[in-house]
Structure 1
């Protein structure tokens, strides 16, 4: 083999090696670029997550503040209702006391009215003989109806009527 073959083979080996060398560096450059792209994507994703987390924290803080205000408002309303309830209970107690006083007064007045308007009891009602005791005393002593009329100043018919009513009263 001649020196030119060595030179040709050496040239061919250099050419193959030259071709292989750039091919090895290109995949390494591509993997470096992929790593950089992945890092950039992850950084962007992390930034988006951080922004979303901050928004979520703000939302939770606003909800907490709104809940606190609502709770405070409801507590004030509850306190107001409790105060109104206590006031209503006190008014009801006072009204019950007034009602009891009025009921007692009403019963007392009703009893007085009943006494005033009560029909006279039969045993307590004065009889005709009680009302005209002088007339009947004269009649029982034997005086005539004319004489009784003159002494009492009544009419003769009136004296006769009183005596007849007294007799009917005794029979009943």
Structure 2
């Protein structure tokens, strides 16, 4: 019986496997049918995302190119300005060197010829420098003798306002005369 039972077991087992397989195949095909639309949607989403990334990359590349152009233009402008400033600086330094050399030459000439009065020419005008002693000034330049009444009133203790009214002068003029008189006294003291 063992031998006869064996083919029957195989047939039964084969039948069961066939039935189970028949039941599984429709389910997997149904699952495959549902998986295809989901896979298709994922592919579309990925393509859309890729297209957006490409657009953003193109916009970014264009922005970088414009920024680079602007940078190059600004650099060129600044370079030209710098060159102009350097040229002006070089010219200014040359002029300063010439003036310094001319000044040294004048100093050397002035040191060798002290008895001559240095003359400075400004366009068509001649200006002479002279050293004048206070003692050589005429008597009219002596402020105390010139404004004798003003100093007399001041020594009596009168106020600047009183002196201005009495002598018909401005207070500022009186104060200026007093300051000049003080300077004159200092020069005479030396």
RMSD, aligned CA: 2.8
Measured in 2, the distance between the counterparts of 1:91 and 1:126 equals 48
The aligned residue for residue 81 of structure 2 is 91
User: Kindly tell me: are residues 86 and 126 of structure 1, through their superposed partners in 2, closer, same or farther at Cα, counting changes over 3 Å?
Assistant: closer
The aligned residue for residue 54 of structure 2 is 64
Measured in 1, the distance between the counterparts of 2:23 and 2:37 equals 21
Secondary structure of 1:86 counterpart: helix
Structure with max Cα Rg: 1
Secondary structure of 1:71 counterpart: helix
The aligned residue for residue 76 of structure 1 is 66
Aligned residue pairs, count: 102
> As a proportion of its length, which structure holds more helix?
1
> As a proportion of its length, which structure holds more strand?
2
Deviation string 1:26-60 (CA, Å, 9 cap, x unpaired) is x65x6444322211101211221111111011111
Q: 1:109 aligns with which of 66, 86, 99?
A: 99
TM-score (ref. length: structure 2): 0.46
Deviation string 1:117-137 (CA, Å, 9 cap, x unpaired) is 33656xx5489xxxxxxxxxx
The aligned residue for residue 25 of structure 2 is 35
Deviation string 1:54-102 (CA, Å, 9 cap, x unpaired) is 1011111111111111111111111111111111111111111111111
In structure 2, stretches of 5+ residues that fail to align are 1-14, 116-190
- Displacement of 1:116: 2.1
User: Kindly tell me: are residues 96 and 126 of structure 1, through their superposed partners in 2, closer, same or farther at Cα, counting changes over 3 Å?
Assistant: closer
User: Kindly tell me: are residues 78 and 126 of structure 1, through their superposed partners in 2, closer, same or farther at Cα, counting changes over 3 Å?
Assistant: closer
Measured in 1, the distance between the counterparts of 2:82 and 2:100 equals 26
Secondary structure of 1:118 counterpart: helix
With a CA cutoff of 8 Å and minimum separation of 6, indicate the structure with the bigger relative contact order.
Answer: 1
TM-score (ref. length: structure 1): 0.51
